[in-house]
Chain A
Amino acid sequence: MSPARRASRRALSITPAGDRHAAPLTRLLLVEGRTELRRPRTLVTLVVLALVPVVIGLGVSVHAADPGADRPGPGLGLITAVSGNGLMLPITALGVVLGLLLPLCVCIAAADALAGEAAHGTLRGLLLAPVSRIRLVWIKAFGVLVVAVLQVAVVTGAGLLAGLILVGGGDQLLTLSGSSVSLGAALARLALAAGWTVLQVAAVGAVALAVSAFTDHPLVVLATVLGGVIMFGLLGAIPALDWLRPVLLTSGWASLSDVLRDPVPGDGLTHSALLAGVYLVIGMTGAIVGTLRREA
């Protein structure tokens, strides 16, 4: 049978799915997640993020092997604390990438989600299917969240492996307070740190998605949001603007190191988590407003 005949015979088995007005949500979410994972940029960000803890691990082990390493290195901070303390590496790595690399990576995903789709002309195709605009925002937010979770998971996982293999001392965690914590409790703290980081990154992602909803140019999203992250960092560093710090998302990021203290002080982590929640709500509202107003 010719391919044409086969195709037309197959066509006979296509029956419309009733008078449905929208495709099933799970199907759309599944396709969105799969598309995100096949995006070359997503894969590149995952590789780059995985390299960070490995590089830290290598640096720490080389530093430890250096006979003149007794001198405290300037500005190494958390990294010196990792020395011989492998379980601290993943949390340290999360703190390092949260500064700029992780916001950049999640921004790339959010920029592609709406602005990038608009630039490729695919947003039109989805709206014409039709996927309702509000639904589209939630689907896109899901895609960005999937990427954010993966990015944090990769840093955490690679950090854990690098810590255990390159740094060693993985039977217990030596906290910044000087006490020791068992492997199980250390992993629980790691999970807390990872979850908290996902929330922070999701907040950045939501704001980026909002910007993404208002533009057709993915680079505008990157410039705006990363510019914002850097600007927030500057504002947070100015003593005269101390009163502003409680509302700056980036100022809360320092509280990640609280996870490494014993007992864990909850104030900073809770406040920064709530703040991230507020940014998340603002970002999603902006994304919905922008998408509803958008000329596709």
Chain B
Amino acid sequence: MIRPDRSGTICSPSAVVTSEPRPDGAMRPDRAARTSVPPAARLRGLRKVYRRTVALDSVDLEVPTGAVLGLLGRNGAGKTTMLRLLLGLSRPTEGSVELLGEPMPVGAARALPHVGALVDGPGFLPFLSGRDNLARFAAAEPLVRTSAIVEAVDYALHRVGLDREAAIDRPYRGHSLGLKQRLGLAAALLAPRRLVVLDEPTNGLDPAGIRDVRRLIGELRAAGSTVLLSSHLLSEVEETCTHVAMLSAGTVVATGTLTELLEADGPALEISTTEPHAALAALRTGRIPGYAERGLVIADLVDTPPEVVLSTLASAGVPVSEARRRRTGLEELFVRLTEDGA
């Protein structure tokens, strides 16, 4: 059983670094994905060409079962194209797609009943009410019994916080952007899902809506569903995801657990002190690699546990006001990886 790191451990100094940056800046494939549980989704050598535009090229990605994988990329990086290929809405020019162990798009009938998706924005008929639109989709869901359609709609509305919303019974064309987006999320939750694919789920949502989406993703994960989430919002991914894949100019430039990516530069300790020279001297004496940066002293943790660094400094009498593990931050990593590629 894979137990991906919880997003709560981002701040824990005990996070274990499992991979190092490769010369080309890409990360090793996620270790968890190589274990015996089959991945919820697997893309291999994927290439998609629209007329002369190469939308995706040599994309390899595994979505570990039980993970919340954030697909990060700028607008136009190929996130939606990738999700559409994954869901069998579009055929790859080259390469293969596996969804819940089924080859796509051939195995769509077997895989898709267990997959809920919001791709390319919410899509509903303007003249039907939000509720009737959902009922129409629920009627097309293989896993929803005919007698349970109304219940399935009510439950999906409840999960996205729309069960008290009066506007839901008025025509969809008059719905607000946020309401439309929530309805799109509800459509992805009409049946019990093993995988939920959400393309930019917080688009058009207010802060309360964004919080609701985070809560929803947490609930899905707790219930054992795998979640694949695309976003151009780094904070969203940093707060909700266990795994991250970065997409730039149609190709995956980095994948790994969130922790792996956050410590992509190698583990280090950032030390605030009023006497940086004394601190550096103490580290040198203790044979710990270190350097000064932006008024901080950085101690390398590749061969030294943080406790040793701190006790070395303490025994040298260096006043340490604050010490914390360095995080590259997704933003810095993202900018670096995508600017090289683009």
Q: B128 and A35: CB pair below 8 A?
A: yes
Q: State the Cβ distance, A212 to closest chain B Cβ, in Å.
A: 16
Return chain B residues, CB-CB under 8 Å to A38: 127-128, 132
Closest residue of chain B to A112 (Cβ to Cβ) is B125
Q: Which residues, 102 to 143 on B, are CB-close (under 8 Å) to A?
A: 108-110, 112-113, 115, 117, 119-128, 132-133, 136-137, 139-143
Q: State whether the Cβ of A89 lies closer than 8 Å to any Cβ in chain B.
A: no
Q: State the Cβ distance, B19 to closest chain A Cβ, in Å.
A: 34
Q: A14 and B112: CB pair below 8 A?
A: no
Q: State whether the Cβ of B87 lies closer than 8 Å to any Cβ in chain A.
A: yes
Q: Residue-by-residue, is A125-155 near B (CB-CB < 8 Å gives 1, otherwise 0)? A: 1111111100000000000000000000000
**Given A16-B191, A122-B125, also A129-B152 (CB < 8 A):** no
Most chain A CB atoms below 10 A, which of B123, B133, B144 = B123
How far apart are the CA atoms of A30 and B146 in the complex, in Å?
12
Interface residues on B, range: 35 or more
Q: A23 and B139: CB pair below 8 A?
A: yes
Q: A122 and B139: CB pair below 8 A?
A: no
**Given A7-B158, A40-B127, also A132-B109 (CB < 8 A):** yes
Q: B124 and A122: CB pair below 8 A?
A: yes
Q: B142 and A130: CB pair below 8 A?
A: yes
Q: State the Cβ distance, A166 to closest chain B Cβ, in Å.
A: 34
How far apart are the CA atoms of A295 and B151 in the complex, in Å?
32
**Given A16-B143, A28-B140, also A128-B89 (CB < 8 A):** yes
Closest residue of chain B to A26 (Cβ to Cβ) is B146
Q: Which residues, 9 to 51 on A, are CB-close (under 8 Å) to B?
A: 10-11, 13-17, 20-24, 27-28, 30-31, 35, 38-40
Return chain B residues, CB-CB under 8 Å to A127: 88-89, 108
Q: State whether the Cβ of B145 lies closer than 8 Å to any Cβ in chain A.
A: yes
Q: Which residues, 92 to 149 on A, are CB-close (under 8 Å) to B?
A: 117, 120-132
Q: A120 and B140: CB pair below 8 A?
A: no
Q: A3 and B117: CB pair below 8 A?
A: no
Q: State whether the Cβ of A296 lies closer than 8 Å to any Cβ in chain B.
A: yes
Q: State whether the Cβ of B177 lies closer than 8 Å to any Cβ in chain A.
A: no
Q: Which residues, 203 to 238 on B, are CB-close (under 8 Å) to A?
A: none
Q: State whether the Cβ of A179 lies closer than 8 Å to any Cβ in chain B.
A: no
Most chain A CB atoms below 10 A, which of B121, B141, B152, B154 = B141
**Given A125-B187, A126-B137, also A24-B146 (CB < 8 A):** yes
Q: B164 and A20: CB pair below 8 A?
A: no
Q: A129 and B112: CB pair below 8 A?
A: yes
Q: A13 and B126: CB pair below 8 A?
A: no
Return chain B residues, CB-CB under 8 Å to A131: 140
How far apart are the CA atoms of A30 and B140 in the complex, in Å?
11
Return chain B residues, CB-CB under 8 Å to A24: 146
Return chain B residues, CB-CB under 8 Å to A76: none
Return chain B residues, CB-CB under 8 Å to A22: 109, 142
Known: A31-B136, A122-B124. 12 other contacts (CB 8 A): A3-B163, A10-B155, A14-B155, A21-B110, A31-B139, A121-B121, A122-B123, A122-B125, A125-B137, A127-B108, A130-B88, A295-B89
- 12 inter-chain pairs at a CB distance below 8 angstroms, sorted by A residue, are A17-B145, A20-B143, A35-B136, A120-B126, A125-B123, A125-B140, A125-B187, A127-B89, A128-B87, A128-B119, A130-B109, A130-B140
Which residues of A are at the interface with B, using a C-beta cutoff of 8 A?
3-4, 7-8, 10-11, 13-17, 20-24, 27-28, 30-31, 35, 38-40, 117, 120-132, 295-296
